Amino acid sequence: MLVAISLATLAGLTIPLGAALATIAHFQPRWLDQEFRHSVVAFGGGALLAAVSLVLVPDGAEKLTVGWAAIAFASGGIAFFLLDRLIAKSGGQSAQLLAMMLDYVPEAIALGAALAVGGSAGYLLALLIALQNLPEGFNAYREMIAKGAHKPRSLLLVFSCLPVVGALSAWVGHTYGAAYPELLGGLMLFAASGIIYLVFEDIAPQVPLEKRWAPPLGAVAGFQLGLIGQLLIS
């Protein structure tokens, strides 16, 4: 239990760390606003795809029948779509933050449950959550500050509280998720589908730059780190 809560908290700490890195935008604004920022976003997309393909889909699908797996997977994409529409109608000021939490929470639940039943998948998932939360925190902070609806200090404080949500989610997963493997599998597929929606609706469109090759390499690097982690624990 302590390991699960600690890993979920550490993985969540990369959210405020990413936001803190985003506050140095005045250091080299043109560089940050172009190739580096796009590369960070792409890296997060690669890490998200690694979480989907290496942990969430294979581990989630093996716990469910084909029919229930299809329903759980479809429900994630639909939920993200509906949330996306709701945010757009309300002005979209917290879109990145809400989308980040919508995949962070079920992933942290899965992390806690994976550690409860044993095996090494929980450690890999903790690594992937940390890798994806860093660029997501970076990008969410910059977008929310750019819209002028939040003060930098208060927003950093909000981001600093988010690891607590991850710790609570890991506790729930460790306490209840292992006892209900079908529910856990559904949550993992729900998160996987939502992540795919997020990558292609929000992350991928922000990545391209003309005559710049670092962003797509960033996506490759993000996925490669997840792959290395999978190979090391298998």
Q: What is the number of structural domains in the chain?
A: 1
**pLDDT for res 90:** 65
Which residues, 6 or more positions from 106, have their beta carbon under 8 angstroms from its beta carbon?
169, 187, 188, 190, 191
Residue 211 pLDDT grade (very low, low, confident, very high; cuts 50, 70, 90): low
Residue 218 has pLDDT above 80, yes or no: no
**pLDDT for res 96:** 66
93-104, pLDDT tens digit by residue? 566 677 677 778
Domain enclosing residue 125, as ranges = 2-233
**pLDDT for res 132:** 79
- Sequence letter at residue 16: P
End-to-end CA separation in angstroms for the chain: 23
Whether the predicted model's global pTM rises above the 0.75 cut: no
CA distance 196 to 190: 10
- Sequence letter at residue 196: I
CA distance 108 to 125: 8
CA distance 120 to 228: 14
Residue 74 has pLDDT above 70, yes or no: yes
CA distance 103 to 80: 10
Three-state SS string across the chain, please? CHHHHHHHHHHHHHHHHHHHHHHHHHCCHHHHHHHHHHHHHHHHHHHHHHHHHHHHHHHHHCCCCHHHHHHHHHHHHHHHHHHHHHHHHCCCCCHHHHHHHHHHHHHHHHHHHHHHHCCCHHHHHHHHHHHHHHHHHHHHHHHHHHCCCCCHHHHHHHHHHHHHHHHHHHHHHHHCHHHCHHHHHHHHHHHHHHHHHHHHHHHHHHCCCCCCCHHHHHHHHHHHHHHHHHHHHC
Give the position of tokens 């933050």. 97
More confident residue, 80 or 214: 80
**pLDDT for res 28:** 47
CA distance 57 to 44: 18
Residue 165 has pLDDT above 80, yes or no: yes
130-162, pLDDT tens digit by residue? 887 887 788 788 777 777 767 888 888 888 988
7-64, pLDDT tens digit by residue? 889 988 988 888 888 777 554 455 555 666 667 667 777 777 877 887 788 888 888 8
Q: Do 44 and 206 form a contact (C-beta atoms < 8 A)? A: no
